[in-house]
Amino acid sequence: ELELGVVLEAADAATAIGIARRIADYLRQPVAHLNGQIALTPRIGVATKEDPRDNADTLLLDARASLARGIDLDARPAAPVQ
């Protein structure tokens, strides 16, 4: 199991989720290994600092909770109704 942390200064939730999607898309690309290929299925937890009292520990806890809830990074926002 791989845990990866990415720190984004002054990013809102939408930006953080967009970047998490890009990372997941990159990590899903098959990689040559011995006589075949392997592909990863990344799971990424996203947390944003909304409270000035938040610190690295609380953000990691929030990211782990996000991971446990199973945010669907493949779900794209609905197009605005016109």
pLDDT of 43 reads 81
Q: Are 22 and 44 in contact (CB under 8 A)?
A: no
The tokens of 75 are what?
A: 């779900």
**Mean pLDDT for the stretch of residues 11-39:** 89
Report d(CA 12, CA 29) in Å as an integer: 27
pLDDT of 70 reads 66
The residue among 18 and 45 whose pLDDT is bigger is: 18
The answer to whether residue 3 scores a pLDDT higher than 50 is yes
Per residue in 36-79, pLDDT (tens digit) is 998 888 888 888 887 888 888 888 888 888 877 766 666 655 44
